[in-house]
Structure 1
């Protein structure tokens, strides 16, 4: 029997662990429909084809959230994304070089053919757990994904957006709403540039 390449073995192990975690984690409450900009956004299995591969990432993160802070910190990172289940899912392995220390995170996405929406989960290596999912889709090249969460014990609505997608670049941002989606504070920006092959 031929041994699998190390990267493929690592990917297989990550995939099995992630699928098991997602199945155990269950589903979080959806965001209130009256303030949910992801309502009506749908997609398909090819939505994330642009993200497959290796990326260099420039991060810009608000130092303090939901307190009116205006001080940002900048740092570097990388992202490697690969598809699963013939496009019905994908995973990315992220390295985040925070000023206080480097850590890893994994993004897991799964497509629901019935609702035609994507669910996205985030796993942080520092916490050993999975965040509640955000759900949504794409329209006119913009992806919007919303979900209920908490921040420091406070209920929030979390939003991920993907914009400015090209073959070699993409932009992602994260925002929190403490008032059910009436107002949003953007607290994290990521600028993706495709890494040389």
Structure 2
């Protein structure tokens, strides 16, 4: 899933919210608004504390979980048709930063989500793609782990103005079975 890309100005543009994007004027959508498409992530704009729980080893039957915290700052991009977030992950072995960027395709109703990790600058992951149905967003990609093909699934759920839940799962058998290997719960702080 890792693909080398010269990121240059793209990364620089995404790492900080543009000066003209007045985040204080971004208003949460009304509770009855359809959050199944373009506006599915609108409530995520702002600053969040994160509680992470992830398996130490993936797809090996490991049952050891590590827990750590983090912070996230989320803003809209592409005139509302995209968004990005800057993440501080406070792993037991040391802190690192990551950046997520998302883009919505109105023709398909799908979002594409890319991850860029400061530990591997210049490498951006192949996007997971999917959509929201009944308030739950499910996104998939093909990847490899230890040289073997796997499927990756991200799930976003329980998105409110003050909280959200994210999960990552891997499948070694083409999607027949899934191992959830990372959970994150977010609480809005600003």
TM-score when normalising by structure 2: 0.81
1:172 aligns with 2:128: no
- What's the CA shift string for 1:73-121, capped at 9, x where partnerless? 0001001000011211100000000001100000010111211100000
1:147 and 1:49, CA in 2 relative to 1: closer, same or farther beyond 3 A?
same
1:135 aligns with 2:129: yes
Tell me, which stretches of 5 or more residues in structure 1 are unaligned? Answer: 1-13, 22-41
The CA distance in 2 between the partners of 1:160 and 1:18, in whole Å, is 22
The count of corresponding residues between Structure 1 and Structure 2 is 163
1:92 and 1:113, CA in 2 relative to 1: closer, same or farther beyond 3 A?
same
Q: Which residue of 1 aligns with 2:69?
A: 76
Return structure 1 stretches of 4+ with deviation > 3 angstroms. Answer: 18-21
The CA distance in 2 between the partners of 1:126 and 1:18, in whole Å, is 14
Match of 1:96 among 56, 74, 89: 89
CA RMSD of aligned residues (A): 2.1
Q: Which residue of 2 aligns with 1:105?
A: 98
1:15 and 1:77, CA in 2 relative to 1: closer, same or farther beyond 3 A?
farther
Counterpart contact for 1:43–1:118, Cα < 8 Å: no
The CA distance in 2 between the partners of 1:152 and 1:108, in whole Å, is 26
Match of 1:187 among 173, 181, 185: 181
Q: CA deviation at 1:16?
A: 4.2
The CA distance in 2 between the partners of 1:181 and 1:191, in whole Å, is 24
Tell me, which stretches of 5 or more residues in structure 2 are unaligned? Answer: 1-6, 15-34
- What's the CA shift string for 1:137-175, capped at 9, x where partnerless? 101110100011111222110000011222111100000
TM-score when normalising by structure 1: 0.78
Matched residue SS, 1:160: strand
Q: Which residue of 1 aligns with 2:55?
A: 62
Which protein has the bigger helix share?
1
